[in-house]
Amino acid sequence: MHLTTGSGRPRALESHNNTRPSKTRVKSRSRVKILIADREGVFRLGLKKLFSVEDDLRVVAQAENALQLVAMARSFKPDLAIVQKEIAFDGFQDLLQQVRRESPGCKVIVTGSRVTDAERENLASHGASGVIPRSAQPEVFVENVRKVIGGGTIQPPLRETPETVNAAGNGPHGQRPADTLTRREMTVISCLAQGWRNREIAQRLTITEQTVKNHLRSIYDKVGVSDRLELVLYAIHQRLELPSLDSCN
């Protein structure tokens, strides 16, 4: 549509809205930044692999002791710290509070094989949102991380009885599937826990890649897992005593 000027020449009709269309901002959902502090490398690796398949969770740093934990909290500003009980009580009465000071708003979850009620209360009084047993199933870790990030706390698990312990995946005469693994198979799991590929494992053990695959297939069948991630998590859950890589040749 045009209007006519005094000279008879058409003039374009000006829009009443002179603002430029704004670009639509798409906010991607931010991932929860997680710091893992644990003395056992296989446990740290297992949790990292577990969280890596979740769209909303990301491990940004790992620590092996209390000093590293505080330093990593200062550098990476995590949203959540998962701390081994032994580190939490490692000579720093206010360690968990230090972590929260270095990363304001950071939530803390403690992991422990055996945690007494008194220890649980002590940890809670110093800022921990709860305790997860180290033998917990992988999905328990994921569920509780999301629960704590959402502002919740972790309730103490039901106490184990001899009946429930014996029923938890043991074979005939109370033998665990893990008890059927050979030392060589345990060594392969040690290598796997370091994140090594089949070729690296084969070179370290001076065997062929096909032999590594055969070992893995045998291990999967014995313990009832289907892939490498499940195997590493199984090793954590069952607290397998894996051989040192220094003596695996």
DSSP state of 235: H
Residues 109/144, Cβ–Cβ less than 8 Å: yes
Residues 135/112, Cβ–Cβ less than 8 Å: no
Q: CB count, 10 Å around CB of 139?
A: 9
The gap from C-alpha 33 to its chain's centroid, in whole angstroms, comes to 10
CA separation for the pair 191, 177 (Å, rounded): 20
Note the pLDDT of residue 249: 56
Note the pLDDT of residue 225: 86
In the numeric block, which tokens belong to residue 219? 């291990």
Note the pLDDT of residue 18: 47
CA separation for the pair 75, 70 (Å, rounded): 9
Helix 66-76 vs helix 95-102: angle between axes, to the nearest 10 degrees? Answer: 20
Note the pLDDT of residue 168: 44
Note the pLDDT of residue 10: 47
CATH code assigned to 32-149: 3.40.50.2300
Provide CATH 3.40.50.2300 ranges for the chain.
Answer: 32-149
CA separation for the pair 227, 233 (Å, rounded): 10
pLDDT greater at residue 59 or residue 12: 59
Is it the case that residue 142 has pLDDT exceeding 80?
yes
State percent of the chain over pLDDT 90: 44
Bridge partners (DSSP) listed for residue 133:
112
What is the band of 19 on the pLDDT scale with cuts at 50, 70, 90? very low
Helix 198-205 vs helix 209-223: angle between axes, to the nearest 10 degrees? Answer: 110
Residues 82/46, Cβ–Cβ less than 8 Å: no
Of 112, 113, 155, 110, residue with least CA distance to 128: 110
- The predicted model gives 54-63 an average pLDDT of 95
Is it the case that residue 146 has pLDDT exceeding 70?
yes
Residues 110/153, Cβ–Cβ less than 8 Å: no
What is the band of 239 on the pLDDT scale with cuts at 50, 70, 90? confident
Is it the case that residue 20 has pLDDT exceeding 80?
no
- The predicted model gives 2-29 an average pLDDT of 44
- Mean pLDDT, the chain, as a whole number? 81
Is it the case that residue 12 has pLDDT exceeding 50?
no
Provide CATH 1.10.10.10 ranges for the chain.
Answer: 177-247
Main-chain phi, psi angles of 55, to 5 degrees: -65, -25
pLDDT digits (tens, 9 = 90+) for 191-220: 888 888 999 999 999 999 999 999 999 999
In the numeric block, which tokens belong to residue 116? 């007494």
What is the band of 8 on the pLDDT scale with cuts at 50, 70, 90? low
Q: State the amino acid at position 166 in one-letter form.
A: N
Residues 51/79, Cβ–Cβ less than 8 Å: no
Assign domain 177-247 to its CATH architecture. Answer: Orthogonal Bundle (1.10)
pLDDT digits (tens, 9 = 90+) for 89-136: 885 668 998 999 999 999 999 998 888 889 999 999 989 999 998 878
Note the pLDDT of residue 17: 47
* DSSP secondary structure of 161-213: -HHHHHHTT--GGG--GGGG--HHHHHHHHHHHTT--HHHHHHHHT--HHHHH
Whether the model pTM is above 0.95:
no
Note the pLDDT of residue 193: 81
| Cα-based angle 39, 149, 87 (whole degrees, multiple of 5) | 20
- The predicted model gives 51-74 an average pLDDT of 94
- The predicted model gives 64-90 an average pLDDT of 94
**Residues recorded for the chain:** 249
